[in-house]
Structures are given as C-alpha cells and as structure tokens.
Amino acid sequence: MDLLLKYIILEDPNVRFVVVAIILLGAVSGIVGSFNFLRKKTLIGETVAHSMLPGVLIAFLLSGVKSPIIMILGAALSGWMSIWLVDYITHKSKIKSDSALAIVLSSFFGLGIVLLTMIQSSFSGNQSGLDHYIFGNAAAMTPEDSTAFAAVCLIVFLLVASSYLSIKATIFNSDYAQSIGISRRKIDVLISILTILTISVGIKAVGIIMMSALLIIPPTASRFWTDRLVPMLIISGCFGALGGWLGSFISYYETNMPTGPLTIVCVSLFAFVSMMFAPKKGIIYQRWNKLLLRRRINEENLLKAAVQNEVRGKGKLFDRAQINKRQYFEQKLWNRTINRLKNKGFVYKVHTGYTLSMTGRNYGADIDRRHKIWEVYLQRRMQMSVHLVHDEAETMEHFLTPEIEEEILGELGLCSRFNPLLEIHEIIPDPDIA
C-alpha cells in the first residue's frame, strides 16, 4: 500500500521520468497506431522499428556520442528509408506488401546487426547501451530522454489535431478526399512521419518489438468498442497509457521484471478482454445474439405453422405431429420452443395438444403475411419464378419490419389491408388441397 502511494505520487525521482515517459508513449502510439490500423498497414510499425537499428548505429558511428537527439535523427532517417523502400518494392514489382515488409525488415535489421558487431569488435569505450535499442531498457532512461519524449508527443498531438479532418477523410474514403482537394500523398507522408517519430523516440525505452506492439495492440483493442474515429483514438490512447502505467508499476513493484514487455502484456490483456466481452462486437455478445436469433426464428416458425394449421381448417388444437407436416421440429427443439412460447403466453396447453392465444395467433399471422408479401414482391418486382420465391421468403419473413412491410405494400400499389391469403392461393398451390 505504501509502495503504491509512493508510486502514484511519483516520489522517487528515478521512477518519475520512466512512468511519465511510458504513459505518454503508450498514449501517443495508441493514437498513431490507430491510423495505421485503419489503413490496414498495421505491421508497418514492426518493419520501421526493426529498420531503425542501422540508423541509430550509423548516427553513433558518425557522431561518436550517444546523444538522444542525434540517435533519434538517425533512427528517423533509416525508418523513413524503410517506408520508402516498402512502397517502392510494392509499386514497382509484383511483390505484395507483406513480403516487401519482411524483406525490408530482415535486411535492415541484418545490416544493423552487422554494424552493431562491427562497433562492438572495433570500439572499446563508450558503446555500451547500444543494444538497448533492440530490447529496450526503460530503467536506463535519462531526464534528457524524457524531455525528448515530451517534445515528440507534443508534436504528434499538434500534427494530428491540425490535420485531423484531412486524415479522417483520406482514411475512410481516399477517393472522396482527393476530389475535395486533399492530397493523398501528403496524408500518407504525414502518417508516416507520425509513425516514425513515435517509434524513433520509443525504441530505446521499450525496444523494437515492444514498440511495434504498442502500435498494434491498443488500436486492435479499441476497435471492439466503437465504430467512430475520435472515440477510437481516445480509447486506444487510454489503453496504451493505462497499459504503460500498469506495466511500469508492476516492474517497479516486482524485481527483475522488464517494463516494456509488462506493458505489452497488460495491453494485450485489454485486447483479449475487449475481444471477449465488448458489447456488440465481443465474441460472447455475438454468440448470445446468434442464439437469441435462432430461438426467435424457431418460435416464429412454430407460430406460423400453427396459424396455417388453423387457416386450413385443421382445428384449433395442434401437436408436434401436425406441425411437423409443415415445419419439422425435433423432439428436443420442439419441447424447448413450445415451453418458451407457453411462458410468453403465445400458446396454451390444452390436454392432448396446444392452442394459440390471441397474441400468438396475431404474431403467427403477421409472420405468415410477411412471408406472402415477400413472395408477391419477388414475383412482381423481381420477376422470380413461382417455385423459387418460397425459400427466399422463408428467411425474409423473420427480418421484415412493419415499416418495410408498409413500404413494400406501397411499392406494389396495395393498401395495408391487403389480404395476401386470398391473393396468393392462385399462385401457390396449397399442399393440403393438392
């Protein structure tokens, strides 16, 4: 508890830089990653992050010092080259973007390893810490790093805010955006700049893989919660920041736990939880919805069959055998469906069988009417043959709303009191009569 308090108020100055920097990094990469995610170029971050290694090392070789600004510049330059190269390969040859990403990633990183080993074998003194760029080391961050961080975050926020509308238009409909005078090229460059800036400041803190993960996972998680851009950016940023906060807290609390990977694990957990439990898009919600739909369809089919039974003069009582002549129900399914209908008050049990209640009869008749309206519509408007319309209508009857029904009747030039039962008899021969 004491530790938690100490952590929250950031009493420890060493921790202060790290925590603030990681939270900022999480937020920024959540936002920038969302743009790449929506452009379906999620893995570009992975390639850019790997490709920065040679840039960092060349910057070190040329300058001889480990100043963060120079390293960031070097990283940004080689990151830029990698994006350009991926684009070039995909545009000028038949190689697809996934292969181009892998090619650029492995060759740049290979070059990085060559340079790293060269430096390690030929320089003696000041090269330690260069491999932090591969695995990251949040604890080794200096106040200077944190300042660089904050500056970059500010730039990213400003860039996003200043051209938010153009970015949005280009992401969702680039043809439209071009037609109103937004240059697609410019927005591509802008998003690339954002990506490169974020990664180039982030890799030293959390390492290459963790950096690309921060660009991939928060947007993935936030996509489950919303379909709108601003909420997605906010949620994604929050997931990144929260993950960073939790990750750095755990690594502060437990010895021998690296910050970067912990952050990723936390963010991934958000993604898993979102995938399972998010309303509307979560797996559980979708499963549940499917189950409800299946149930409703079974109920409606049963009611419709019962109504048809009555209309054809088979009496008001019905049982499974009778219904099965029109709509087959297995014993188990029958039991479950009829029980639900009983509980909802659509049918009553009458010693040997069941009978429809008033509401049940109306409901079933509605379904039957929709079925027939759709059949008439398909025949008259879509010129479909008599034999084909029934199957189509079997599914559509469950999805026609009263509004659509009204519209179809209007379209067909029929009044809403149109009785399809009278009309349809001439077209569809009744199996009982035949």
Residues that bind other proteins in the complex, under the rule CB under 8 A: 37, 40-43, 45-46, 89, 92-96, 98-99, 101-103, 105-107, 109-118, 121-122, 131, 135, 209-210, 212-213, 216-217, 219-220, 223, 256-258, 260-262, 264-265, 268, 271, 275, 281, 283
Judged by beta carbon, residue 169 or residue 217, the one nearer other proteins is: 217
Q: Are 187 and 163 in contact (CB under 8 A)?
A: yes
Least distance to other proteins, CB of residue 259, Å: 10
Least distance to other proteins, CB of residue 389, Å: 29
Least distance to other proteins, CB of residue 62, Å: 17
HSE, CB side, 13 Å, CA atoms: give it for residue 64: 3
Q: Are 58 and 213 in contact (CB under 8 A)?
A: no
Judged by beta carbon, residue 98 or residue 144, the one nearer other proteins is: 98
Going through 105-181 in order, the beta strands assigned E by DSSP cover: none
- Between the alpha carbon of residue 241 and those of residues 41, 264, 308, 414, the distances in Å are 22, 11, 60, 59
Least distance to other proteins, CB of residue 47, Å: 9
Least distance to other proteins, CB of residue 79, Å: 17
What angle (nearest 5°) sits at the alpha carbon of residue 125, between those of residues 121 and 131?
A: 65
Looking at the DSSP bridge assignments, the partners of residue 347 are 356
Token readout for 228 is 């709108």
Judged by beta carbon, residue 37 or residue 377, the one nearer other proteins is: 37
3-state helix, strand, coil in the chain (%, to 5): 75, 0, 20
Judged by beta carbon, residue 228 or residue 387, the one nearer other proteins is: 228
Least distance to other proteins, CB of residue 116, Å: 7
Judged by beta carbon, residue 80 or residue 270, the one nearer other proteins is: 270
User: What DSSP designation does 357 have?
Assistant: -
Long-range CB pairs of 394-397 (<8 Å, 24+ gap) are 396/370, 396/371, 397/300, 397/304, 397/367, 397/368, 397/370, 397/371
Q: Are 187 and 170 in contact (CB under 8 A)?
A: yes
Judged by beta carbon, residue 121 or residue 401, the one nearer other proteins is: 121
Judged by beta carbon, residue 123 or residue 328, the one nearer other proteins is: 123
Least distance to other proteins, CB of residue 274, Å: 9
